Structure 1
Amino acid sequence: MKIIAMIPARFEASRFPGKLMKNLAGKSVILRTYEATKQSNLFDEVYVVTDSEIIFNEITSNGGKAIKSIKEHESGSDRIAEAVENLDVDIVVNVQGDEPFTQTESLKNLLEVFKTDTKQQVDIASLKIKITDLEEINNPNNVKVVCDEAGFAMYFSRSPIPFARDASKAVYYKHIGIYAFRKKALLKFTQLPVNQLEAAEKLENLRFLANDMTVKMVETNKLAIGIDTPEDLEKANAVFKNN
């Protein structure tokens, strides 16, 4: 089974423009992410997929592999699908370009789903983490997920789900947006139209569920450090400095 990592990377970012090229302990954020993903030793190949000449050159000039997008894309999944269409690969992992501290153990557990899925019942695997803080639970920027007894996602929402009619019984999980796709599932996803649920919540993972695609959720207890703001970059630099 051939497994590759794809790191979709846009230069522009609404909250922190150009963040992937910002300096993180002497290297750019995107290069740090690429190198950390390679060093996990979980993948046969690692690629950065980008529409930016700057990011493309940053990776290739440092000995890495990058693919330049041909078309404009609405989502990272669409960008990756274009890049893998003609590649000989079985599993594609979408690694976030603004998360330079790769969760090797969590990624390993994610890939284990496919290695043990002998009947190929899983289309996509993703991560979740238990949350208990009320502010986190109610924050619409934190996507929540509920699962069936076998650990398959039933619904994703920006709202707190489940509704806590009995607070003592309610358990909440935050969805972590790292996906591992079977190649055929990824290509199928990009051919499907945006449905009403996805349009309402602005969550592409609802397109999976609305079209009977199975999403196996894997629990982790480690939350990645993402870089969404200049303050996040300061914290990340502090982590490197202290290690």
Structure 2
Amino acid sequence: MKILGVIPARFKSSRFPGKPLADIHGKPMILHVYENAMKVSLFDKVLIATDDERIASECTRHGMSFVMTSDEHKTGTDRVAEVAEKYAADFYVNIQGDEPLVSPDTIELAIQPAISNADFDAINLMTEIRDISDLVNSTIPKVVVNIRNEAIFFSRSPIPYPKSERPKYYKQVCVYVFKRNALRRFVSLERGPIERSEDIEMLRFLEDRMTVKMVEVRDDSVAVDTAADLEVVKNILANRKKLK
């Protein structure tokens, strides 16, 4: 069984241009993500997938394996799908280049169900929301699941609505596992009205009635979407270093 780790990295983020190269304690953010991925024993190979020569240059400087991809992709999953056409594997694991806090152990928790159970199109991680600010933050996608822990819906709004009782709330942790056929199907589809509205790529799977298996993890994570998020990550990593 062959498992490929892919870290999509684009320079032209609308909210935070150049964020893969943002400095975190002397290293670019993308290097933190790459080093975490390289500690995952289940990976046969880890690649950064980028469309920008500045990121490619930084990869070369730090000895990170990378592949150049199209600059036309709308989502990281589209970029991973291009990589899947170039590199044969049983599973492709998309590790977001803006989540430097995701640990190797957490990544492996996404992969284990793929190895033991083939009944899925995609696997995604989720964690319980414990901070009310995360619940109302529209940059953080929330998810609701059925009794089989399959995604029913993703939204930037707080879901579900607590009309009768207060539910548990969950947010995405942006690690995904895909099969090649599911990626091919994904890129063959137009962005549906719900995906366009919410701007959450996993909704494309749901709008086409594909199965997204959700795996709950305890680790929290912070996606770096803004300069303020970057400062939060810096503080968390600094505190972790003090505790060692």
1:220 matches 2:217: yes
Equivalent position amino acid for 1:161 in 2? I
Moved more, 19-28 or 213-222: 19-28
Is residue 59–residue 65 contact of structure 1 (8 Å, CA) maintained in 2? yes
Alignment correspondent of 1:102: 102
- CA gap 1:196/1:232 in 2 versus in 1, 3 angstroms: closer
Alignment correspondent of 1:202: 199
1:125 matches 2:123: yes
Structure 1 segment 52-201 matched on structure 2, within 5 A: 52-117=52-117, 120-168=118-166, 170-201=167-198
- Provide TM-score, normalisation by structure 1: 0.90
Counting aligned pairs with the same residue, the percent is 38
1:9-40 deviation line (CA, Å, top 9, x unaligned):
11122232222212222222112221221123
**Partner-residue secondary structure (3-state), 2:127:** strand
Equivalent position amino acid for 2:126 in 1? K
* Offset at residue 235 of structure 1 (A): 4.2
* Offset at residue 71 of structure 1 (A): 4.4
Alignment correspondent of 2:12: 12
**Partner-residue secondary structure (3-state), 1:178:** strand
**Partner-residue secondary structure (3-state), 2:62:** coil
* Offset at residue 92 of structure 1 (A): 0.6
Is residue 114–residue 177 contact of structure 2 (8 Å, CA) maintained in 1? no
- CA gap 1:208/1:166 in 2 versus in 1, 3 angstroms: same
**Partner-residue secondary structure (3-state), 2:172:** strand
Poorly superposed stretches of 4+, deviation over 6 Å: none
* Offset at residue 102 of structure 1 (A): 3.2
Is residue 103–residue 224 contact of structure 1 (8 Å, CA) maintained in 2? no
Structure 1 vs Structure 2 CA RMSD: 1.9
Is residue 122–residue 216 contact of structure 1 (8 Å, CA) maintained in 2? yes
**Partner-residue secondary structure (3-state), 2:196:** helix
**Partner-residue secondary structure (3-state), 1:187:** helix
1:167-226 deviation line (CA, Å, top 9, x unaligned):
24x221112222111121112101111112212222221110111211000001111233
**Partner-residue secondary structure (3-state), 1:61:** helix
Is residue 93–residue 181 contact of structure 1 (8 Å, CA) maintained in 2? yes
- CA gap 1:154/1:28 in 2 versus in 1, 3 angstroms: same
Residue segments in structure 2 that go unaligned for 5+ positions in a row? none
1:113-141 deviation line (CA, Å, top 9, x unaligned):
11111xx2111000111124444323332
**Partner-residue secondary structure (3-state), 1:13:** coil
Alignment correspondent of 1:25: 25
* Offset at residue 149 of structure 1 (A): 0.9
* Offset at residue 79 of structure 1 (A): 1.2
